[in-house]
Amino acid sequence: MSEKKEKLQKTEQEWRQQLDPEQYRICREKGTERAFTGEYYNNHDKGIYRCICCGEPLFLSDQKYDSGSGWPSFWSAAADGVIDEHRDISHGMIRTEITCSNCDSHLGHVFPDGPKPTGLRYCVNSASLDFDKGDS
Active-site residue, from 54, 100, 103, 123: 123
Give me the domain span that covers residue 120.
Answer: 12-33+45-133
Residue 123 annotated to the active site: yes
Q: How far apart are CA 41 and CA 56, in angstroms?
A: 19
Q: Does 39 fall in a domain?
A: no
Q: Does 70 fall in a domain?
A: yes
Count the domains in the chain.
1
Cα angle for residues 91, 71, 115 (degrees, 5° grid): 100
Instruction: Give tens-digit pLDDT for 58-108.
Output: 999 999 999 999 999 999 999 999 999 999 888 788 899 999 999 999 999
Model confidence, pTM: 0.91
